[in-house]
Amino acid sequence: MSLSIVTLDPADDAECGEAAAIMRLASLAETPDMPALSPRRYMARFRNPQLGERRIGFLAREDGVAAGAGLLILPDEQNRDAAMIELHVLPERRRRGIGRALHDHLTGIIRAEDRTTVLANTSESLPGGPVRPGDGSAFAAALGYRRASTAHGQALDLREVPAERLLAGTAPHTGGYSPVVWSGDVPEADVDDIAYLNARLLQDAPTGDIEWEAEKPDPSVIRNYERTYRDKGSTLFHAAMRDDTTGRLVAWTLIEQLDDPSSWGWQQITLVDPAHRGHRLGLAVKIHNHLQVRAKAPELHHVHTWNSAANHHMIAINEALGFRPSGATIDWQTRL
């Protein structure tokens, strides 16, 4: 067998399309319980860096046929000693050394950049959840990575949430705070508050043993997220709680609706500023968002989310909402 690995030109639709198609098929095999996402969404993985990072895509051909894809993410402002990798091999071409060859290629670049920490993630089954084959985890363990953190995936059917009843239960605790909901971009007047809450996520949410520097609050990070979500074809639904005394947003949550299938959404960040915890704002803000989604996008009913296994509080809130276990995402780490 002859194996060649090329660096993707982000402007080359044909090559990026081949790599995106591999990613799509490999992901479907790895997480059969999740929907097949649109090719546009996979293309965006190569083309839409977050602020302060570089992305380099790779395509591996076995005897001239596209068989594997890789993505290298290099943070350039913070965490400059680290790199994230993603590797995908078509299911019918696995266990022939393509994954290892892609890994060697990417780690060669990481070493040449004088970076020492490599992060990757894989999918596994959870007790009571759907079966996932776990090829990625077997591969990561074989290559000497260690488990740094486990995130529990949970899935919810929004049609089954007793939203009004749950909201009534939070009402005695949320006095002094007012809900705000919107879809699309964060209003200019609130973007500093949202940037602050967003930057707190890495500080506040338990993430196991991952070594990762917290972000600094920066409204341009929020504007860049919005641009990348737009490029993927997503629609964003936000809910927040405003502190009536200061006028500031102190709790925030976000659901991303996929373009295809539009019945699916990802429950993204939920964060309550530490000074305002203990008022059931985390539960209240999520329910306000569910009510917004129900009204504006009734076709969206499968919501998927994930939280660090150590984040017992958020997992308990989600269970109260009716979320059920789906699969686990394992973050792996190694030093070069």
Ligand X SMILES: CC(C)(COP(=O)(O)OP(=O)(O)OC[C@H]1O[C@@H](n2cnc3c(N)ncnc32)[C@H](O)[C@@H]1OP(=O)(O)O)[C@@H](O)C(=O)NCCC(=O)NCCS
Coil, helix or strand at residue 38:
coil
Q: Identify the residue whose tokens are 């996520």.
A: 201
Euclidean distance between CA atoms 21 and 84, whole angstroms: 21
Among 61, 80, 96, 313, binds ligand X (CB under 6 A): 96
C-beta of residue 222 within 8 angstroms of C-beta of residue 186: yes
Among 87, 236, 241, 315, binds ligand X (CB under 6 A): 87
Q: How far is the CB of 283 from ligand X (least distance, A)?
A: 33
Size of the site for ligand X (CB under 6 A): 22
CB-wise, 99 or 179, nearer to ligand X?
A: 99
Q: How far is the CB of 134 from ligand X (least distance, A)?
A: 7
C-beta of residue 243 within 8 angstroms of C-beta of residue 176: yes
Closest CA relative to residue 215, chosen from 227, 204, 199, 229? 199
Coil, helix or strand at residue 46:
helix
Q: How far is the CB of 25 from ligand X (least distance, A)?
A: 9
Segment near ligand X (CB under 6 A), from 135-143, 198-206, 246-254, 262-270? Answer: 135-143
- Residues within window 6-65 making contact with ligand X, judged by CB under 6 A: 26, 30
Closest CA relative to residue 52, chosen from 79, 81, 70? 79
- What tokens does 307 get? 């939280």
Segment near ligand X (CB under 6 A), from 91-99, 147-155, 176-184, 218-226? Answer: 91-99
Q: Identify the residue whose tokens are 């009571």.
A: 128
DSSP 258: P
Among 65, 138, 202, 316, binds ligand X (CB under 6 A): 138
Closest-by-Cβ residue to ligand X is 136
C-beta of residue 330 within 8 angstroms of C-beta of residue 145: no
Q: Is 89 in the site for ligand X (CB under 6 A)?
A: yes
List the Cα angle 282/153/51 in 5-degree steps: 75
Among 45, 88, 115, 279, binds ligand X (CB under 6 A): 88
Among 40, 80, 100, 227, binds ligand X (CB under 6 A): 100
Binding string, residues 141-160; x marks residues near ligand X by CB under 6 A: -x------------------
Euclidean distance between CA atoms 92 and 95, whole angstroms: 9
Q: Which residues bind ligand X (CB under 6 A)?
A: 26, 30, 85-89, 94-100, 120, 122, 135-136, 138-140, 142
